[in-house]
Amino acid sequence: MANTPQAKKRIRRNEKRAEINGNRMSRIRTFVKKVEAALDGGDKAAAADALKAAQPELARGVARGVIHKNTAARKLSRLTKRVAGL
């Protein structure tokens, strides 16, 4: 259990940040799933549009420190490759 005021504040802050970061990750996953759904449907135009929307979300996740930049680059690369392969 936290004893110092700073440690207590840190616990409160961590809870708030965890909720915010969880929401950000959920938003990123939603955008990626939209791309994958369009790919599964075989609709290249929809997949390209969804990819264009997902790209800034992934970049924003990197900028906010929610995901690692190499993870975002890998996901983007793989999705781009799949869209181009349609």
**What pLDDT score does 1 carry?**
79
Strand blocks (E) in 1-86 = none
pLDDT digit string (tens) for 4-58?
999 999 999 999 999 999 999 999 999 999 999 999 999 999 999 999 999 999 9
pTM for the model: 0.87
Q: Which CATH architecture has domain 5-84?
A: Up-down Bundle (1.20)
CA distance 37 to 22: 22
Residues 6+ apart with CB under 8 A from 11: 2
Listed by start position, the domains of the chain span 5-84
